[in-house]
Amino acid sequence: MLPGIVRSSSRHLPCRRSLTKWMSVRNLAAASGDQMTVRDALNSAIDEEMAADPKVFVMGEEVGEYQGAYKVTKGLLQKYGPDRVLDTPITEAGFTGIGVGAAFQGLKPIVEFMTFNFAMQAIDHIINSAAKTYYMSGGQISVPIVFRGPNGAAAGVGAQHSQCFAAWYGSCPGLKVVTPYSAEDARGLLKAAIRDPDPVVFLENELLYGENFPVSSQVRDPNFTLPIGKAKVEREGTDVTITAFSKMVGFALKAADELAKDGIKAEVINLRSIRPLDRETINASVRKTYRLVAVEEGWPQHGVCAEVCASVQEESFDYLDAPIERISGADIPMPYAANLERLALPQIEDIVRAAKRACYRSK
């Protein structure tokens, strides 16, 4: 198990331009002095899978000559040429449809959306053309495609560029939906996604790209994959379970540090996979702690946390000692002003407060 990451306090949302202002202190148990950014993890995963399988290709806006809008595809055009790394016009509906059609024929496209907000122009192809086709064709036509890109809020990018789509895609049968947090998650889950014969929606986070995480030599192995559909217990605990995914995992871990000072040992679960959702791991944890705080960045109504809550109350009702708590994004379009944006997104103190409520502790 990878050691928990200890972060120094940063109460402000990182400015988009200065990507990494977190300072990480590696747990002494980490074997080597080896670190990797999420960006490099993604880049190396795509690179290795393209090297291993000639059917894998990348398409999207600025993925080639520009080296990637967020530099995730850096160097790939130079290495694999313009037949396998394709710069598309700004036409998501069109190029997504083209990607899905190529997958129908057995190719393995990795379609990059500059952000998943733009994928709304292509959502018909993701759902109707990709997710449902294997079923509708009675098992004849599979769609081995990966849709990837940044999801959720960045910093100060406003209402049309900040939406979290985990809940929407996570509700759709036929899709697999994964949300990496660490570099290990990014590498293992992306390689698994590319190798997976089904359409996978791979939700990254722009603010995590520049973050460094320790990686073992096992993670660096070209055959390293992580199973889709399995959550990871990032930090063990006994008093309250906190579920989170993507950037919120870091917040949950920080909240766990805060709670530990008050004698509350929180167990932090990194969901890693929204669909399939690892109900087994979540419920096993709640059956141990009896209390749950579910955290997500997106909107609350019909969100990922709503499904987590439903699963736990269905399967572990008798174990619950307190009502389930949900921490999510505010029920509003994302405001631009910095003070409002901070109030619109979950903060570490919100998670701490909710955990204490679940433990019947006063503030």
Partner 1 sequence: MARWRQRLLSSACSSSSSSAAAPQALLRLASSALSRQSSSRGFAAAPDDTTPFVVDIPVPYAGHRCDPPEQRVETSAKELVDFFKVMYVMRRMEIAADSLYKAKFIRGFCHLYDGQEAVCVGMEAALTKEDAIITAYRDHCTHIGRGGTVLEVMAELMGRKSGCSLGKGGSMHMYNKEGNFYGGNGIVGAQTALGAGLAFAQKYNKQNAVSLALYGDGAANQGQLFEAMNISALWDLPVIFVCENNHYGMGTAEWRSAKSPEYYKRGDYVPGLKIDGMDVLAVKQGVRFAKEHALTKGPIVLEMDTYRYHGHSMSDPGSTYRTREEISGVRQERDPIERVRKLLLAKEIVTVADLKNLEKQAKAEVDEAVNQAKEGGQPETHELFTHVHVKGLKQLAYGPDRKEVIVPLP
Residues near partner 1 (CB under 8 A) are: 15-17, 61-62, 65-66, 69, 87-91, 93-94, 117-118, 120-121, 154-161, 300, 325-333, 335-340, 343-347, 350, 353-354, 357
- Residue identified by tokens 């087994």 is 280
Check 48, 49, 61, 92 and give the catalytic one. 92
Query: Rounded to the nearest 5°, which phi and psi values hold at 168?
Result: -60, -55
C-alpha span between 101 and 125 (Å, rounded):
10
C-alpha span between 201 and 48 (Å, rounded):
19
C-alpha span between 35 and 49 (Å, rounded):
21
Cβ 332 to partner 1 shortest distance, Å:
6
Longest dimension (CA), the chain: 61
Cβ 17 to partner 1 shortest distance, Å:
7
Closer to partner 1 at the Cβ: 151 or 281? 151
Closer to partner 1 at the Cβ: 229 or 303? 303
Cβ 116 to partner 1 shortest distance, Å:
12
C-alpha span between 242 and 355 (Å, rounded):
8
Is 92 a catalytic site residue?
yes
CB count in 10 Å sphere of residue 87? 15
Please list the helix, strand and coil fractions of the chain in percent, rounded to the nearest 5, in that order.
40, 15, 45
C-alpha span between 15 and 151 (Å, rounded):
17
- Residue identified by tokens 């109504």 is 301
Cβ 66 to partner 1 shortest distance, Å:
4
Three-class DSSP category at 284? helix
Check 62, 161, 258, 349 and give the catalytic one. 161
| Structural contact between residues 196 and 227, judged by C-beta atoms closer than 8 angstroms | no
Closer to partner 1 at the Cβ: 160 or 238? 160
Closer to partner 1 at the Cβ: 34 or 87? 87
Residues listed for the chain: 363
C-alpha span between 22 and 210 (Å, rounded):
10
Sequence letter at residue 176? K
Closer to partner 1 at the Cβ: 136 or 340? 340
| Structural contact between residues 254 and 217, judged by C-beta atoms closer than 8 angstroms | no
Closer to partner 1 at the Cβ: 161 or 220? 161
Cβ 135 to partner 1 shortest distance, Å:
27
> 14: left (phi > 0), else alpha (psi -120 to 50), else beta?
beta
Cβ 101 to partner 1 shortest distance, Å:
16
**In 3D, which of 245, 314, 253, 263 has the Cα closest to residue 286?**
314
Is 296 a catalytic site residue?
no
C-alpha span between 266 and 78 (Å, rounded):
46
C-alpha span between 327 and 299 (Å, rounded):
10
Closer to partner 1 at the Cβ: 184 or 325? 325
Cβ 32 to partner 1 shortest distance, Å:
33
Q: Which residues are catalytic?
A: 92, 161
